[in-house]
Chain A
Amino acid sequence: MIQERPLPTFKASTAEVSKEEGLRLYNDMVLGRTFEDKCAEMYYRGKMFGFVHLYNGQEAVSTGVIQTMRPGEDYVCSTYRDHVHALSAGVPAREVMAELFGKETGCSKGRGGSMHLFSAKHRMLGGFAFIGEGIPVATGAAFQTKYRRESMGDESADQVTAAFFGDGTSNNGQFFECLNMAALWKLPIIYVVENNKWAIGMAHDRATSSPKIYKKAEAFGMPGFEVDGMDVLAVRSVVKEAVRRARAGEGPTLIEALTYRFRGHSLADPDELRSKEEKEFWLAKDPIKRFSAYMTEHNLATNDELKAIDKEIQAVVDDAVQFGLDSPEPNPADLRKYIFAEE
C-alpha cells in the first residue's frame, strides 16, 4: 500500500449549494476536462505544438476557486498549465483553442501559445511559462486594487486576485518574497498552491524540507489552509472565507489544495516515475465523478440532466476546434506588431 498524506475531511452537508450553482460548478469542471481531452487529441493529430501541459484531475481547484470569485471581474494569474484557469475565468473556449492552434483569433493572437494565454478583458493576467513568475505579477495586480481604493479613492475597487502555482514552485524565492509583501501590505490576494505531488519528475517530498506548504503561511503572519483539492465544495468553502477576508481588507490567504494530475507533466513527458498504485489512488478520487454523485444524491440534478450538460459541453469544445481550424493565420506583415504600445 502506498502512504498518502491524509486528505482533510470536509462535511459536504454544510455546503449549501443551490441547484443553479451546482450546475454551474459541474459545467465548469466538465468544460475543463473535455477541453483538455480534446487538446491531447489535437496535439497527437499535429494541430498544436510545443509543450502542452494538461490539467486533467485538478478541475475542482480551478472551478472551486475561480467560480467562487467573480469571474471576469476578479483577477486570475496562472502558469504554463493554464488552459483551464483561462476557461474558468471566462475566456471563451474558441479563443483558447484558436490560440493553441496559433491562429490570429486566439486570445494572444497566436503569438503566445499554450503557455502564454492572456485576456485583459477577462482579467486573465497570464499564462506564464517560467515557474514562479506569475506570483509577483499577481501580487502586483492585488497591489493595484488596494492602491485604487486607498490612494485614488475608488470605493468600487474590491477585486480579489487568485494566483495559481504548483508544489514545486513553492520552493522558489518569489513565493516567499511575495508572501512577505502581501502580508505586510494586506493585499487582496489568494495564493493557491495546487499540490499535485510532483514537479515533472521531482517528488514533492524530495524537494522540500517541510512538505506541508500551507504551514509556511504562518511564518509570514498569514492564514494558511489545506484542502481536499479533489472536492470542489471543500475548495469553494475555504475560498469563500479567503475572498471575504480579501474584500474586507484583511489581507492575503494561502491555500494548499491537495490534488493530482491524471496525465504526464506535459504531453511530451514519458511519465515513468509515478507508481501505478499512486495513480490509481488518485484516479479513484476523480473530482467530476465525485461531484456528479453529490448532485444526484442531493437531488440537485438527475443523471439525465448531467448527461445533457456533458453533451452541450462536447458541442462547445467541438465548435471551438472548428473555429480554430477555420480561423486565419496571423498575417506575416504583422510580424513586428505588438512590440510597443501603439497610440
Chain B
Amino acid sequence: MAETLMFNALREATDEEMARDNTVLVMGEDVGHYGGSYKVTKDLYKKYGDLRLLDTPIAENSFTGMAIGAAMTGLRPIIEGMNMGFLLLAFNQIANNAGMLRYTSGGNYKIPMVIRGPGGVGRQLGAEHSQRLEAYFHAVPGLKIVACSTAKNAKGLLKAAIRDDNPVLFFEHVLLYNLKDTMPDGDFVQPLDKAEMVREGKDVTILTYSRMRHHCTQAAKALEKEGYDPEIIDLISLKPFDFDTIGASIKKTHKVIIVEECMQTGGIAAELIAAICDRYFDELDAQPVRMSSQDIPTPYNGTLENLTIIQPQQIVEKVKAMVDGQI
C-alpha cells in the first residue's frame, strides 16, 4: 500500500495496462519526450518506445481520427488531450465516428479507445482553457463519459476504461492532479458504471462529480456541525447514469440537489433532473435543485471566476433550505 498522487495514479494505470496488453498505446501532444503536460506519461516512452508513446503534431481532429481507425482495426489507443478543450477541434471525429460508428456499421466495428485529459475550471486560466465539455459531449450517442475525482478512482477507472470495448471520454480535473490516496495493491480495476457513495446520510441526496465532489464534502463538514445529514454520491459515470445507486438514495431521502461544474443550460444536471423526474417523481418531497456554474465563458479575473462556479458555502445554504422545507 503506497501513497500516490493522482497524476501518478493515472500513470501507473497506463503503465500497467501497457505492460499487460501490447495493443495499448498513447497518442497526443507532448505525451512522449515531454511526459505529458501534467506528467501522466512521464518517461513511459523510455520503457515502451516512441511508437507506443506517440508524440503527434498539433492536429487534434486528424490524430483523433487516426486513433479511431487504429481502434477499428484492433489497437486500443489512449488519446491524451493536453487540455480536454483542445478536443473541440476533434468534435467531428469524436461525435460522428467514435460515437456513432458502432451503430452505423450495424455492429461491424467496435472502437475501444479512451480519450482522457485535464478538464474543468482551473485557477485563472482564461475561458478557453477553463471548459466544461462533459455537457457538450453528453448528447453524443455511443460515448461513455466518466469523471474521476480521487487518486484511487482515477487509477481503477482508467484501467477499466482502457479495457472497455467502447469509446470512453475520461475527464480528469486540472486542480485535482495532486490529490493523494493510498492505492490498493494488485490489479485494481473499478467499474465504469457504478456511482461512488461518498457520505451516507438521510436528509438529502447530493449528486455530484469531479472537483465538485470535494466542494460537497467540505460543505458536509460544516453541515454536520449543525445537525444536518446529507448523503453525497459521486456519479463517476456521467453517461450512462447509475440509477441503481441514485434511485436507492432518492427512495431514502426524497430530496435531490445536483452540484455540477458545467454550465446550467444543457448541463449534466439538466438531463439528470429530467431522468429523475421520469423515474422517481412520486418519491420526491421537493422540487429537485441544480447548482451549476454560470452560463458564461469563464472569466479570467479571479473574483469573477469564483462567482462563476459553485462554492461550498452556497451548497451549505442550499442543503439547509431544502432540508428545512424552504424549497
Contact = CB atoms under 8 A, between A and B. Distances in A.
B34 to A, nearest CB: 3
A4 B30 CA distance: 22
B275 to A, nearest CB: 29
A116 B301 CA distance: 12
Contact of A332 (B30, B33, B295, B307): B307
A221 interface: no
A102 interface: yes
Contacts of A173: 59, 61-62
Given A111-B300, A202-B34, A50 B57 contact: no
B253 to A, nearest CB: 32
B129 interface: yes
Contacts of A115: 126, 128-129
Contacts of A339: 295-296
A219 interface: no
Contacts of B304: 110-111, 330, 332, 335
Interface in B278-320: 294-297, 299-304, 307-308
Nearest to B124: A49
B139 interface: no
Interface residues of A, number: 37
B22 to A, nearest CB: 23
Nearest to B62: A173
Contacts of A112: 126-127, 300
Interface stretch (A29-37, A128-136, A280-288, A296-304): A128-136
A330 B124 contact: no
A304 to B, nearest CB: 41
Chain A contact residues, majority secondary structure: loop
B301 A329 contact: yes
A260 B322 CA distance: 59
Given A49-B124, A206-B55, A200 B300 contact: no
B30 A129 contact: no
A110 B128 contact: no
A322 interface: no
A201 B59 CA distance: 15
B123 A335 contact: no
B302 A102 contact: yes
Nearest to A129: B128
A196 interface: no
Interface stretch (A57-65, A164-172, A312-320): A164-172
Ranked 7 nearest A-B pairs via Cβ: A201-B34, A113-B300, A49-B124, A171-B57, A129-B128, A102-B301, A110-B301
12 contacts: A49-B300, A50-B125, A110-B300, A113-B300, A129-B128, A168-B58, A172-B58, A172-B89, A199-B29, A202-B30, A329-B301, A329-B303
Given A50-B122, A112-B127, A200-B34, 10 more contacts: A50-B300, A102-B300, A111-B304, A129-B127, A129-B129, A131-B58, A202-B30, A335-B296, A335-B307, A339-B295
